[in-house]
Amino acid sequence: MAQERAGTDAASRRGGVALDPAFWRERRVLLTGHTGFKGAWLALWLQSLGARVTGFSADRATRPSLFELARVGEGMQSIAGDVRDADAVAAALKASAPALVIHMAAQSLVRRAVARPRETYEINVMGTVNLLDAVRLHGDDVRAVLVVTSDKCYENRDWEWGYREHDAVGGHDPYSSSKGCAELVTDAFRRSFFAGRSPGAQQIGQHGARLASVRAGNVIGGGDWGEDRLVPDVMRAALAGERVRLRNPNSVRPWQHVLNPLSGYLLLAQALWDCPEHACGWNFGPPDEDARTVGWVVERIGALWPGGVQWVHDGGPQPHEQRYLKLDSSKARARLGWAPALGLEPALQSVVDWYRQLQAGADMRTVTLQQLESLQLATAAASDRGASAGIGAT
């Protein structure tokens, strides 16, 4: 504990934020979307930090899922419900009485959004409205709220440089557009109802909670079984000994291990607690060298997987997707001292190790907790490096 506190104090002196287990111990957290891939990893991390976690999620978990395989529900309370149901959201908020809310519930699949645009907007936009309105009306104990959107929230112009937090949001397809809309909803609620940095805001009814949004994308990690996502598609094919079909092998994406942005979310939540000026949008993306093509990622996984992985180009009709997308995370590095814990190569090794353990019949809760523990150590070291790099940054 003394070492943990010393690390926290040192990072604070340098202008960064260190992940502080004491902050999270017994902290009441409401996490929406906890049965999803990112949500399950975050729920497990919060449990390991000693937080009192309540999850709110519809029964949309994949089969299989990380939530089930790692028995994530054992260490938390779960409430079944749909974010499209405003009354259910409000009831969950009142029942859990959280001090901190992290909103991850979403329809996150690009192709499903094309097939079901109305559903996508209802979940991603009105679900965000319902959550923030519940906090406004019933969240007396809430001090900080994080709304998780996506790197695809930006108006993508296929620039070779990374998008910064002040760049315009938008979207050429229903999924991207819905995430841009969620950002606009969050900004409007922050300006109108919540505390924080709202220049020129005309606040109708001030709520003390600090409201921030976080943007990341193309996360990878063990336990992802989502449809039409690269690493799950590759691992399903590898486990079955089949070839994987790639829609856009030359598309460039900012790949990162799931715990990299999640560590940023936790650091930001801590910073929001005492610093309302952090109530704004934040990017959490990998370094430039980890923005790689789809084809490159598949080749690297194939080199790590026994027997390799074969792929073919799926040349059929596809929904619109931009070829190039990258985030600029300078603000998080400078103001939070955040830095990615794992580069892409070790992240891919971690992913392959997880699925090999699954194939071998291992206890996946134990495997996932072991990976989480080792990655927490890497995260602490990365945060320390990031805080040092942030000295003098503006």
Tens of pLDDT along the chain (394 residues) come to: 333 333 444 343 334 568 899 999 999 999 999 999 999 999 999 999 999 999 999 976 788 999 999 999 999 999 999 999 999 999 999 999 999 999 999 999 988 999 999 999 999 999 999 999 999 999 999 999 999 999 999 988 878 788 999 999 998 899 999 999 999 999 999 999 997 544 444 444 578 899 999 999 899 999 999 988 899 999 999 999 999 999 889 888 889 999 999 999 999 999 999 899 999 999 999 998 998 999 999 999 999 999 899 999 887 666 666 667 889 999 999 999 999 989 999 999 999 999 999 999 999 999 999 999 988 887 667 666 655 555 444 3
Fold held by 2-313+325-387: Rossmann fold (3.40.50)
Find how far residue 25's CA is from the centre of its chain: 21
Nearest by Cα to 356 from 250, 244, 258, 222:
222
Compute the distance between CA of residue 294 and CA of residue 291 in angstroms, rounded to an integer.
10
Compute the distance between CA of residue 142 and CA of residue 133 in angstroms, rounded to an integer.
12
The bridge status of strand 281-283 relative to strand 207-215 is parallel
Compute the distance between CA of residue 111 and CA of residue 176 in angstroms, rounded to an integer.
11
Question: Do 66 and 41 meet the contact criterion of CB atoms below 8 Å apart?
Answer: yes
Question: Do 101 and 146 meet the contact criterion of CB atoms below 8 Å apart?
Answer: yes
Compute the distance between CA of residue 365 and CA of residue 351 in angstroms, rounded to an integer.
15
Domain ranges of the chain: 2-313+325-387
First to last CA, the chain: 31
Q: Which residues in 5-40 are b (16+ Cβ under 10 Å) and which e?
A: eebbeebeebbbbbbbeebbeebbbbbbbbbbbbbb
Compute the distance between CA of residue 28 and CA of residue 49 in angstroms, rounded to an integer.
12
Compute the distance between CA of residue 369 and CA of residue 48 in angstroms, rounded to an integer.
8
**CB-based contacts of 223, cutoff 8 Å, min separation 6:** 37, 40, 41, 65, 66, 69, 70, 354, 364, 368
User: Structure tokens of 5?
Assistant: 């506190």
